[in-house]
Structures are given as structure tokens and as C-alpha cells.
Amino acid sequence: MLNTNIQTILATIDQSARKAKRNLNEIKLVAVSKKVNIEQIQKAIDYGLHIFGESYLQEAVPKIRHFSDQIKWHFIGHIQSNKAKQVAELFNVVETVGSYKVAKILDNHARALNKQLEILVQINIGKEQQKSGVPFEEAESLLRLLTKETNLHISGLMAIPPYNIDPEKSRPYYREIKKLATRLAIQRLFRNNDCVELSMGMSGDYSIAIEEGATIIRVGTAIFGERT
């Protein structure tokens, strides 16, 4: 089951990349393993996956300790100030930085650890109250502040569009994110402005995200099945 799911996703990624005339090696699959146990994660590793995403710190800690340095971990959840230290310590990439306050806390801890922490800035693309992220209009000023005032490795943007059963409804949001990233890269606000990461696309709409320029897709359900 797991192997079949993974093969299907890899084939779909390949297909979407071809359709968009994109290079397959610029697209990373983050396996979202929230609510997934260590045995299942081990199987996914055995089937070739090597980047995992977690939303809840407490749940992630034992998993990260178990697998030590074998794989890369992305934090994709809401960052609470009092947990930021451990997030900075344990994760390779923090995808959900949406404010200067949180960024500064991560930065302080990363500096203390002598770690070059990679982050993405989360954009609240759908202007949804319940979702984290910086409003679209404030992205540029936040990026300016972060590049000036922190030592964080800002590699790109992350966004979650409003949920819709029809994946086509995500397309205009992903297009906006791509345009925004291009504009910010011209102003040299990322660490590597020739190769900006765009984390967008989940189980329901990752093909569309790839067509619109995603370099990171975050897929849980389509790999591990429905979370209970």
C-alpha cells in the first residue's frame, strides 16, 4: 500500500514536471508524517523518501531523535514562542515563519547553536483568520527586515491556499505566490535569488502546484493514508 502510494506520487510528479517543462530534480517531496508512527516512517525511508514534515513539536521530538541524521526534517506547523528554541534546534528547515518576532527568536537560538537555520516565509495567501503567515502585502517589508536583521538562511516562500475540493481553485493562489517570489528575488531578498524555494501543494493539489512552480510539495494523506 505505502509503496504503491509512493510510486503513484513519484509518477505524478514526473508527469506534472514534464507538462510544465520543468526539471524533475528541482522538486522535493516532503512526506508529511504527522500522526504517523516510527514503523511507517521507516518503511517510507526504505522506499526511498528522505525528507519528512511535522506540524507538532511534541510529536516530532521522539521521531527526530529516533532517526538521528538519516533524514531531513521540515517544521510545517504553527510556531509557539516558547517552543521556538527546540524547533530551531531539531529541524533542518522551518517552513512557517510569518512574523519578525518568531523569526528573531529562531535566529537567537540558531546563533547560539552556531547553526545556519534554513527558513521559508509563510504567506497567508487566502487572508484567512485561522491561518498563520504574513499578509501578502507585508511580505516584502518582512523579508527586508529579516535579511537585514537576522542571520537566517531565507530560502523561499510557503503557502497554503484556502481548502477547496476542486484543486483547480488553488492555481490562481500558486500563481500569485510565484509572481511574488519572482518580484522579491529581483530585489535580492532571498539567500539564493537564482533558485528560490516555493513550498506549495498538498495531497489534493500537488500536480497543480508543480505546474505553477512549486519546488517543495508537502504530501501526507496520499502517502500514508487518511489520518485518524
Would you count residue 32 as binding ligand PLP (CB under 6 A)?
A: yes
Candidates 33, 203, 207, 215: give the one binding ligand PLP (CB under 6 A): 203
Spatial separation of the C-alpha atoms in residues 4 and 161, rounded to whole Å: 28
- Among all residues, whose Cβ is closest to ligand PLP? 220
2/147 with CB nearer ligand PLP: 2
Q: Which is nearer to ligand PLP, 2 or 193 (CB)?
A: 2
Site string for ligand PLP, 38-57 (x = CB under 6 A): -----------------x--
From 66-74, 100-108, 166-174, 220-228, give the range in contact with ligand PLP by CB under 6 A. Answer: 220-228
- Count of residues engaged in binding ligand PLP, rule: CB under 6 A: 12
User: Considering the complex, what minimum distance in angstroms separates the CB of residue 211 from ligand PLP?
Assistant: 17
Binding of ligand PLP by 93 (CB under 6 A) = no
Specify the residue for cell string 494523506: 221
User: What span, in angstroms and rounded, lies between the C-alpha atoms of 124 and 129?
Assistant: 9
Please write down the long-range contacts of 192-199, taking CB distance under 8 Å and 24 or more positions apart: 192/155, 195/26, 196/155, 196/156, 196/157, 197/120, 197/155, 197/156, 197/157, 198/156, 198/157, 198/158, 199/30, 199/95, 199/120, 199/156, 199/157, 199/158, 199/159
Minimum distance from residue 39 beta carbon to ligand PLP (Å): 19
Residue burial 155-186, b: 16+ Cβ < 10 Å; e: rest: bbbbbbbeeeeebeebbebbebbbebbeebbe
Tell me, residue by residue from 151 to 190, as one string, x for binding to ligand PLP by CB under 6 A and - for no binding.
---------x------------------------------
Backbone angles phi, psi at 175, to 5 degrees: -65, -40
Footprint of ligand PLP on this chain (CB under 6 A)? 32, 34, 55, 76, 160, 202-203, 218-222
